[in-house]
Chains A and B, each alone.
Chain A
């Protein structure tokens, strides 16, 4: 067991930012144990992508190439990476914690008798891996005690990608897995957009966003009035849209839109990580919540701890008065 493999994810020929963050996490691990970091890219035609990866710091780029890897399937990726791990015997495999990785990495680890340490936000000496528990209200420290490869997936935004000096291109090698077409049991269709997007929260300067704290659909006008007074777009966290109280297109978070307005005013939103990843890039975050320990206060610039049913009407009035 030696070396670190980091899996790079592509979508339609583009490498996502979180993949470079996974490389940064792998380098952080490597610094603890002076192991080389090798990057892995899967697909049917990975030559151009491999060249792009090779320009970044990595000892080696491994192209895992097969016609059946052209379109993602859990069965195809699992068997290909299982064969790669058995051939390379890495001490660690680091993956970006994306929807795709969540779909196959737990099965890959289980097939090898291991368990993925998922959604890691920090790596300490040991190594000890930090994950969020209780919807971000608690941190847990995890250690790998198995004898095989340790599988780790890293959360978006948790590891900073350092600008690196120009390096000599990494060597590129190709690994050809054996995949039988019959082993791929699912038939995926082409990705499509949900309902026509008529609300572009991404370009909004001011956003008032509402969460579970609003309790009932009948209470929504309270927050709508605040948004109107402020001249802001109304958005919501997932549970509000799941309940059908606001349309899905107003949802902010990992499954909804990613926003970065001048002001993001979160009303009754506790701040689960799935929500935070969609809004933590906002210039100014204000949170109104009854729970002083809500994770939303970890990213807020200004916080009001209180009952939103009292604070929001008072705020709407104060804003109206200030605008006159």
Chain B
């Protein structure tokens, strides 16, 4: 089975950030970056499918130069090779524009399965996988926790709301968006990190793929959210904070 995993590099979730001078985005120079969490689960699912059924795992990404670090991390975990679409104006493209870039690269590979994380931790659009399926003319299923290969295709377990699930059968080639938590994530081994250095990273550019970048939806600006409630902050040493909270729980919330 040839599996492509589309991954995204996102700001580290604990990163403190500042809004940039133009109020358009955040200052990226301040930030540490990491592999998007649900993409890490998509990669894990791909690696486990390869271990069971053989084949190849190819990671696919797009972004500025810093993405090289995240690609090497994926290769160290066990992906066989990578394709990167160099793109410095990713933020100016909408979800369709980004998916068109990725789709153009996928078409050259004709995989049996295309996986991606459910949603990115920065923009949170949750659309790339589903749009990719549409652009490639492939069937898809989203919010997937478990994948099983069958005679005719795949049986997947889809998460529904409030603790419900559903099995879905679909033929391959197909696109799945992977929900976090379906597998236990592996760490890269020392050997893996060493091997990653010799693995192929094919570099493409947005220009050579000839993809239209004109957006139909634009992010005009960003701002810090307004507080919905006036939170009473309890200050002091941990002991004082604990005592103050116990007072509140006793006399105002009345649960003690």
Residues of chain A whose beta carbon lies under 8 Å from any beta carbon of chain B: 74-75, 78, 98-99, 102-104, 106-107, 109-111, 113-119, 128, 131-148, 185-194, 197, 205-206, 230, 238-239, 241-244, 248-249, 254-258, 262-263, 270, 283-284, 286-287, 291, 293, 295, 297-307, 310-311, 314-315, 317-319, 322-323
Contact = CB atoms under 8 A, between A and B. Distances in A.
A18 to B, nearest CB: 10
Contacts of A239: 180
A318 B242 contact: yes
Given A131-B124, A187-B169, A142 B219 contact: yes
Contact of B165 (A192, A306, A311): A192
B140 interface: yes
Contacts of A322: 246, 249-250, 256
Interface in B92-131: 94-96, 99, 121-127, 130-131
A295 B13 CA distance: 13
A102 B143 contact: yes
A116 B127 contact: yes
A193 B234 contact: no
Nearest to A16: B161
Contacts of A318: 239, 242-243, 245-246
Interface stretch (B64-72, B82-90, B203-211, B224-232): B224-232
B133 A107 contact: yes
Interface string B144-188: 000000000000000111111111111100000001110010000
Contacts of B224: 137-139, 293
A274 B42 CA distance: 19
Contacts of A146: 216-217
26 contacts: A78-B134, A103-B130, A103-B142, A104-B130, A107-B133, A107-B140, A110-B130, A115-B215, A118-B126, A136-B225, A138-B17, A141-B219, A141-B221, A143-B217, A148-B216, A187-B168, A189-B168, A230-B256, A287-B231, A291-B14, A303-B232, A303-B234, A315-B246, A317-B242, A319-B246, A319-B249
Nearest to B128: A106
B192 interface: no
A90 B155 CA distance: 37
Contacts of A194: 163-165
Given A118-B125, A188-B168, A298 B227 contact: yes
Given A106-B134, A135-B124, A114 B166 contact: no
A301 B245 contact: no
Contact of B163 (A117, A257, A307): A257
B249 A191 contact: no
A254 B161 contact: yes
Interface centre among B17, B224, B253, by most A CB within 10 Å? Answer: B253
Nearest to B234: A304
Nearest to B219: A140
B211 to A, nearest CB: 14
A238 B121 CA distance: 14
Contact of A304 (B95, B131, B245, B256): B245
Nearest to B129: A106
Contact of A249 (B130, B163, B221, B239): B163
B241 interface: yes
Contacts of A197: 163
A302 B255 CA distance: 14
Contact of A186 (B13, B99, B165, B169): B169
Nearest to A249: B163
B1 interface: no
A116 B126 CA distance: 10
B225 to A, nearest CB: 5
Nearest to A190: B166
Given A139-B224, A141-B222, A142-B219, 8 more contacts: A132-B225, A138-B26, A138-B224, A194-B165, A255-B163, A298-B227, A306-B238, A318-B243
B197 interface: no
B222 A133 contact: yes
B141 interface: yes
Contacts of B222: 133, 138-141
A295 to B, nearest CB: 7
Contacts of A142: 217-220
Interface centre among B17, B96, B135, B165, by most A CB within 10 Å? Answer: B96
B126 A117 contact: no
A243 B168 CA distance: 25
B104 to A, nearest CB: 14
Nearest to A313: B238
The 5 closest A-B pairs by CB, nearest first: A146-B216, A242-B181, A185-B139, A106-B127, A314-B242
B216 A145 contact: yes
B253 A134 contact: no
A226 B216 CA distance: 51
B135 to A, nearest CB: 7
Contact of A295 (B179, B225, B242): B225
Contact of A315 (B95, B242, B255): B242
